[in-house]
Amino acid sequence: MSKERPTIADVATRAGVSKGAVSFALNGRPGLARTTVDRILAAADELGWRPSSRARSLSVSKAFALGLVITRDPAVLSSDPFFPAFIAGVESVLAPRGQALVLQVVTAGEDEAAGYRRLAQDGRVDGVFLSDLRHEDPRIELLVELGLPAVTLNRPVGSSPFPAVCLDDRPGTVAVVEHLLQLGHRRIAHVAGPPAFVHATARSQAFTETLAAAGLEPIGVEVSDFTAAGGTEATRRLLALPEPPTAIVYANDRMAIAGIGAAHQAGLTVPDDLSVAGFDDSELAEFVHPALTTVRADPFAFGATAATTLIQSIDGDGDVADVELPPAQLVVRGSTALLEE
């Protein structure tokens, strides 16, 4: 018997049952005979067992579910460029294991911490994905306090005890801007995503820095919202500038595809009059006309890798290493062309 705090293994030994049975009993899940439950609860009492983050990590996969808290207005969730594919990737790992994903949407401005507390305290999930990292993210400390295993999507600023699965957006954006510079473009604009999101900010910074390295400034930067409507409006504003851009780099494909439509409506032809580049290589990118030059991120692989890493972190004893995904790659298609003046 350990001199330290008793574990589920200790309770199992004393009660003469498996660790799984202890986990079932302590979590009130059905399937055990009442007498077995009583024996296990008695053993836990005698040993002074109490739930703790350590005990939690030993009660392997007791919920058989992972949690994802998304802070978004539900109305914009379906137009999100990332989550449907990320969730599909997570499910590609969970489905064969018969595990579930518990999705908790928190409306912006509501109490996000309560979402995590509910998942932790109800024992509903064995671990959570931490997405949309913010600067000085208070959720790191909250999850440590709750004793809930987690994986962060990208590396938080500041210290974190959780493994990170990282996808560097910057090289893809750098490659897009360098591609346009090589095509002779100098008047280049950017339609950015919401600055509260680390990945939107990373793309914007990479855009501006790559232009600066070439001695240029953006002809315009419009902050938008990743939606088709937002991309259309931003494109109209940029095309109405006294010196309109000859190329626009969008922070996602949806805004870029809408931008092609807006350019056509303004009487311009893409790519003859305006080069357009997106980000995501979403499903439609290859099939619209002209086919969209974009950056191939792989949110499905991101989700699958994050799920695998989180499960390792829940099941394993030791530290789980960070995973660096291959950086997003430039995909050149028909929507960008040599500048002709």
Give the residues lining the site for a copy of itself (CB under 8 A): 26-31, 34, 45, 51, 64-65, 67, 74-80, 83-85, 87-89, 91-92, 94-96, 98, 100-107, 110, 114-115, 118-119, 121-124, 227-229, 231-232, 254, 257-258, 260-262, 264-265, 283-284, 286-289, 291, 299-300
- The answer to whether residues 220 and 259 touch, using CB atoms and an 8 Å cutoff, is no
Residue 128 or 200 with smaller CB distance to a copy of itself: 128
Q: Which of 337, 332, 331 is nearest to 271 (CA)?
A: 337
Cα–Cα distance, 287 to 269 (Å, whole number): 17
Give pairs for 212-221: CB < 8 Å, separation 24+.
Answer: 214/181, 216/181, 216/186, 216/188, 218/188, 218/189, 218/190, 219/187, 219/188, 219/189, 219/243, 219/244, 219/245, 220/189, 220/190, 220/245, 221/189, 221/190, 221/191, 221/192
CB of 277 to a copy of itself, least distance (A): 17
CB of 209 to a copy of itself, least distance (A): 30
Residue 201 or 300 with smaller CB distance to a copy of itself: 300
Cα–Cα distance, 160 to 191 (Å, whole number): 32
Residue 95 or 241 with smaller CB distance to a copy of itself: 95
Residue 214 or 229 with smaller CB distance to a copy of itself: 229
- The answer to whether residues 315 and 60 touch, using CB atoms and an 8 Å cutoff, is yes
CB of 303 to a copy of itself, least distance (A): 9
Q: Which of 157, 181, 167, 4 is nearest to 86 (CA)?
A: 167
Q: Which residue has the tokens 């990945």?
A: 199
CB of 201 to a copy of itself, least distance (A): 24
Residue 115 or 220 with smaller CB distance to a copy of itself: 115
Residue 181 or 291 with smaller CB distance to a copy of itself: 291
CB of 178 to a copy of itself, least distance (A): 27
Residue 149 or 156 with smaller CB distance to a copy of itself: 149
CA 139, 144, 149, 154 dihedral sign is positive
CA 262, 266, 222, 74 dihedral sign is negative
CB of 269 to a copy of itself, least distance (A): 10
Q: Which of 204, 151, 11 is nearest to 20 (CA)?
A: 11
CB of 301 to a copy of itself, least distance (A): 11
Q: How many residues does the chain have?
A: 341
